[in-house]
Amino acid sequence: MTETLAQRRVLLVIGGGIAAYKALDLIRRLRERGASVCPVLTAGAQEFVTPLAAAALAGERAHTNLFDRASEAEIGHIKLARQADAVVVAPATANLMARMAGGHAADLATTVLLATTLPILIAPAMNVQMWAHPATRRNRAVLEGDGVRIVGPNAGRMAEPESGPGRMAEPNEIADALERMLGQQAGDRPLAGRRVLVTSGPTHEPIDPVRYIANRSSGRQGHAIAAAAAAAGAAVTLVSGPVALPDPPGVAVVRVETARQMLEAVEAALPADIAVFAAAVADWRPEQEAGSKKIKKDGTGPAPMPLVENPDILATIARLPVGRPPLVVGFAAETDTVVEHARAKIARKGCDLIVANDVSAEGGVMGGADNTVHLIRRDGAVETWPRLGKEEVARRLVAHVAGLLAG
Ligand code: C5P
């Protein structure tokens, strides 16, 4: 399975060899394929190409020093080692391979390589004799044993008069190898390349500038689903009502207050491959639009407050004639006969899957950390999961919907 480089971030370590000029072209090729590139140049690399050239092609600054005060304050080498999807070393010189195999961390490039847990692809480039040397062969075997992938070197004419293997793989070959490497990891990212929309939290329906109708939803389950979908590789938009939770990492969050704003934000976030409606949308709102003045208590008792029904966001999207996400998932919070109610809800709302949970007071689900859910499919099949943390429910749900979408 290959994987596109769109939206992927590549940390590119440029080693000090004549092939460094081809690393500049590699930056262009990776960007053409939709990746962003963070260049790191060794001191040797800077003898052949300038950080400025790498930065200009990458469209972001190039990193060179381990002890760069500006960079340490802003980003730091440990962050550099983490904030990407893969590390590519091109050219990987004999010296750089030896330092990698030995676990050296004397400069920024080797420190990043030692600190990273990301997949690493190296494109060796060196003199034929150096490539054939037993020391390089040993280092190569050590690196392969450590899980480092190698592309090239190719045989052919080199800067020196000798010919044979030692020439760095071409930039497009390196980009292809990177796609293959990331593709092999796509098992961990079953939603790579997919767009997922999640609603979460309650809505607030204003009565006047200070009062509103709301419910006890914390948003924990919806936010956990957005985080799990992002971890599975999806591009996630989370439309959230007012919650006291931090934004999940790697997720585009749109904050709204009312049901009508939530519907608008959801429509704006389409198209999506999967839409999960985990928000506890207020069913009703005051008919009278809230004005700018607080409603006064005048001693004659409360003024009547007629309510009107809010739009049903789930049903609206599940019944879209055009642009309906292929997989629409609803939630059902019930206090009794959970599964029967959920079956009826699937039919009423037109979604593909309902995640039903028991929110009776004994369950402690609303605002709590755990959830016991039943998955009810449109064809009537039911799957009941044990009581689980909301994060685990989210992970399992994401794996389940990824399977449905793939199958
Ligand atoms: O009808 P009920 O509120 O029980 O349905 C719950 C499901 O419908 C949840 O997925 C919820 O997010 C969604 N819903 C919605 N818009 C509403 C009411 C519920 O999207 N106005």
Summarize pLDDT for 331-350 with one digit per residue, the tens: 998 877 888 889 999 999 99
Task: Give backbone dihedrals phi and psi of 329, rounded to 5 degrees, phi first.
Answer: -115, 130
213-230 tens-digit pLDDT = 999 999 999 999 999 998
Instruction: Please give the pLDDT value at position 1.
Output: 39
pLDDT of residue 29: 96
Tell me, what's the pLDDT at 367?
A: 58
d(C-alpha 16, C-alpha 79), whole Å:
23
pLDDT for 368 equals 67
| 378-394 pLDDT, tens digit each | 988 999 888 888 888 99
Cβ of residue 269 lying under 6 Å from some atom of ligand 1: no
- Check residue 360 and give its pLDDT: 66
- Kindly compute the dihedral angle of the four CA atoms of residues 264, 266, 269, 273, in this order, to the nearest 10 degrees: -150
Task: Give residue 378 CA to ligand 1 midpoint distance, Å.
Answer: 16
Q: Answer yes or no: are the C-beta atoms of 160 and 18 closer than 8 Å.
A: no
Question: CA 318, CA 277: separation in Å to the nearest integer?
Answer: 10
Q: Which residue has the higher pLDDT, 71 or 172?
A: 172
Q: Is the CB of 393 under 6 A from ligand 1?
A: no
What region, left, alpha or beta, does residue 199 occupy, with left being phi > 0 and alpha being psi -120 to 50 degrees? beta
Examine the pLDDT at 286 and tell me if it is beyond 60: yes
Comparing CA positions, the residue from 258, 18, 243, 11 lying closest to residue 115 is 11
Q: Is the CB of 276 under 6 A from ligand 1?
A: no
Other beta carbons within 10 Å of 299: 5
* Residue 356, ligand 1, Cβ within 6 A: no
Of 281, 317, 354, 401, the residue with max ligand 1 atoms within 8 A of its CB, to mutate for a pocket test, comes to 281
Q: Does residue 2 register a pLDDT over 50?
A: no
The CA 231 to ligand 1 mean position distance, Å, reads 25
Up-side HSE of residue 2: CA atoms within 13 Å toward CB? 9
Q: Out of 215, 310, 357, 371, which one is annotated catalytic?
A: 215
How confident is the model over 253-271, as a mean pLDDT? 97
Q: For position 300, what pLDDT does the model report?
A: 87
Pairing of strands 373-377, 382-384: antiparallel
pLDDT averaged over every residue in the chain:
90
Q: Report pLDDT for 366.
A: 60
Q: Side chain identity at 402, as an amino acid letter?
A: A
**Within 13 Å and on the Cβ side, how many CA atoms surround 279?**
33
Looking at the predicted structure, is the pLDDT value of residue 282 above 70?
yes
Ligand 1 atom with least separation from CA of 329: 10
Domains of the chain: 9-185 (3.40.50.1950), 195-286+303-406 (3.40.50.10300)
Q: Residue 123: CB within 6 Å of ligand 1?
A: no
Hunting for tokens 């599940």 — which residue is that?
A: 318
Instruction: Give residue 75's pLDDT band: very low, low, confident or very high (50, 70, 90).
Output: low
Report the range of poorest mean pLDDT among 159-168, 230-239, 246-255: 159-168
Residue 112 is predicted with a pLDDT of 92
Query: Which residue from 261, 191, 196 is spatially nearest to 222, judged by alpha carbons?
Result: 196
172 catalytically annotated: no
- Average confidence (pLDDT) over 41-57: 97
Binning pLDDT at 50, 70 and 90, where does residue 362 land? low
Q: Give the pTM.
A: 0.62
Radius of gyration of the chain (CA): 27
Separation in Å, CA 187 to CA 82, 184, 402: 20, 7, 11
pLDDT number for residue 334: 80
∠259-264-268 over CA atoms, to 5°?
145
Looking at residue 66, its pLDDT comes to 73
